[in-house]
Amino acid sequence: MKQHILVAAVFIVGCATGSVAGRLVVPAVRAGTSPTRWEYQCATVPESEDETMALNKLGAEGWELTSFAPAKWHGNAAFSVNEYTFCAKRALP
């Protein structure tokens, strides 16, 4: 009886992981096509500039924001940031 329960449990776990594993695999590039190639740009926006204007300018040039991080801290305060570094990408032609 215990052996039947163990076999049933292994079968259920195998079915559950098999259906999830197929979704986690990255599909291969199809023959005759090429994957998108990207170019990247990172820029630090000084505190004298407006971040929104800088991001709008990047967006108008076809850049897509991928990340941003504080570039310079003011004093010891954790939430007083003077500058941000923005990184963006766009598809190569």
Q: At 19, is the secondary structure helix, strand, or coil?
A: helix
- DSSP 8-state class, residue 32: T
Q: In one letter, which amino acid is 69?
A: A
What percentage of the chain carries pLDDT values higher than 90? 24
- Sequence-distant (6+) residues with CB within 8 A of 73 are 80, 81, 82
- Sequence-distant (6+) residues with CB within 8 A of 36 are 91, 92
Structure tokens at 67: 């990340």
Tens of pLDDT, residue by residue over 17-31, are 666 666 677 666 677
CB 65, CB 86: distance < 8 Å = yes
pTM value? 0.55
Average pLDDT (71-90) is 75
Domain boundaries, the chain: 2-91
